[in-house]
Each structure stands twice: as C-alpha cells, then as structure tokens.
Structure 1
Amino acid sequence: MEVGVDSAAAAEQPQLQPKRKRVAPAILAAARAHRPVSCGDFSPPPRRPHARRADRRSRCITLNHGPATTVADVGLQVWRGACLLCDWLLAQPPAGPACLGRTLVLELSGGVGLGGVAAAAVAGSVAVTDAHAAALALVEANIAANAGLAAELRAWRRRRQWWECGLRRGTEAQGLGGE
C-alpha cells in the first residue's frame, strides 16, 4: 500500500489557521520597537530625576545567564517577564504598596533567579526553585554576585520540580514538604 498526498486535492482544500487572540496594536508596535509595554499596575513608576548616582548604582543587578540556549536549557536564559518583574520590584519605594518586608517570596522554576534576586532586595526572604541543575548553579552565582543589593540577601535555592511537590487545592505554604 502506498500513502501519499494528492497535491491538486490539497491545493483545493482551504487551509485552516488556528484561532488566536488578537494582539493589541500597541503591544505589537512596542515589540517591533523593542520598547517596554505598560502593564497597568506592574509598570514601573517614572524614574526620579533627582536620584543620586550612588543610589542607582546600588540597585543594579549583576547577572550570569546563557544568551542562546536549546529548548531543554531554556531556563538558562533571561525571560522578558523576569525583566519586567525586576524593574517593577526595584522601582518601588521602601514603604510603598509593594512593601514585602516580612513576606516569603517563592519563585517557581526560577531559571537564572533574576526575579528572586530582585525580590530579595524588598522581601523578607526568598526561595528560588528549579529542576535544572545548571540553572541552580547560575542562581547560586547570581545570588553571590548580588549580595550587596540588600543589606542581608536571604535568598536560598533548592532543586525542586514544583509539579511534584504534592500541592493540593487549599494547601498552605507550610505544607510544601520537601528535602
């Protein structure tokens, strides 16, 4: 038995395109121009023109990452969402609405840990998890490189596949279990 495609019949059939949500023109234009998009409450406030140079320098993050990776190593690169979260966290005033003083921030599948490092500057403590051993090595290096960002960087990392934590609906944070 021979299987093939009748090219004449295939050309007559209408090609079905998957249904996709429309993307707002402003988002498309910003993506083409490589500009950040305003995300409502998550967009950083305007920068203070009178901020001292030393203050700006102290809020810079040094980051080790892999710029080009395979799909299996996608956690070794920086994602745009992590950059947006980082900008938003570091732009918050110390006693502002995003004050996370005594809060435990849990970053699931943290990759290189950019979100966790930024959160450590404003939160009580931070836990960064990932299943990829190389990503955890980068998290450890990035935590060490940014220890001066917060008075005491209380971030820790743990190898964890978050889908295997046994979380059930209504489970409290204390019930995470683990290593």
Structure 2
Amino acid sequence: MRRMASDPRRSNWWELEHSWWLFMIALAFGFLTWAAFGYIWVRTKAHEWGVAAVAYLALIVVSMVLLSHERGTWEVGVGTVGLIACWAGGFVHGLAWRGRALDLLSVDEDPRLRAARRRLAQRTEAADLAQANPSLAREAGIGRDADTFGGLVDVNGASAEELAQLPGFSVELGRRVVEVREKIDGFDNVDDFANILDLP
C-alpha cells in the first residue's frame, strides 16, 4: 500500500504510534529485540519477521550462555559482541525494516479489510450454527436473506429474485435453482446443490 498524504492511517502521528516496537529494542538494550520483531510477525503474519525474531532470540540465548563463562575468556568477548549486535544491529535492522512494517500494519488496519474479516467470521459462525442447530438458526433469521446475520441465504427457501442478487448468480440461474429445488424437494447440502445444478 502506497502512502497517501490524505490517508489518516499513515499520518506522521500514526507512523510514530506504530513504531513503538523500535523503542523496545533501544530501551531494553537489545534483550527484547526478538520480541519487537515477533510483535510485527504476530500482527502481520509476515514470515521474515518471525525468522528475524527467532534469530535474535537465539543470539540472545547464545550470548547469555557465553557470558556465563569465567571473565577474561574468549567466550565472554563473543557473548558481549552478540549482545551488542542484538542491541545496535537489531535497532538498525528495525529502522531499515520500519517502512515495511508500517506498510504491513496499515494494510492490517484497513477498515475495509477489517469489515471483510468480520463478515467472513460472521458467515462462518452462521454456517456453523445452521448446521449444528437449524431451529435456532431459523429463529435468528439466518438464511432468510443476504442482509441477515452472516449474509447466508437458504437456497431451499429463497426466491429466484433473492438468489439472483447473490454474487455469481443471474436471474436465470436463480429460476433454475428454484425449479430444481421444487422437483427434488430441496437440497440436502452444498455438495448436493452444486452437483445437481452442475456448478463448478
């Protein structure tokens, strides 16, 4: 998603507010670098952030193990370099990837995508309810028309006109569904519906 000046999700304040994870790296002296990268990974599901989080966690653990050796040994020196790499290197790495993180986060916060996710979740919940407890689903109005909870339509009760309003349905297909439904006394399930009507 490209940054647009009129996009309130990408104002300077928004960018600062969504860059707090960089402060986690700086203020925790690198000990939480893995958590900062992990936060972006959890929020965006972008795998490269997860790989970086695991790598920084491994570096912290190895550095701490090396630092537990007796002072003045090479292990302590390598452990110290590892901690500095987690702190300074992690901060520079975070700054370098900050733009990518903000792009991913702004997509994650797009109200249209959130609304679509909410509709999909409702549709899944409505379908599960219709299968588990059909009488409760009918009482809740699920399946009466696409405007009810979940946006599901009962193909065994909808008119040809209601079916024609569904994505991918035409008036002709709606009429065909009603004709076939009346001949076979209703569809038993979605597969039955698709097979009988010879849908892809």
**Class of the TM-score when normalised by the shorter of the 2 chains:** under 0.3
More strand by share: 1
Higher relative contact order (CA 8 A, sep 6+): 1
Structure whose alpha-carbon radius of gyration is higher: 2
Greater helix content: 2
TM-score using structure 2 length: 0.22
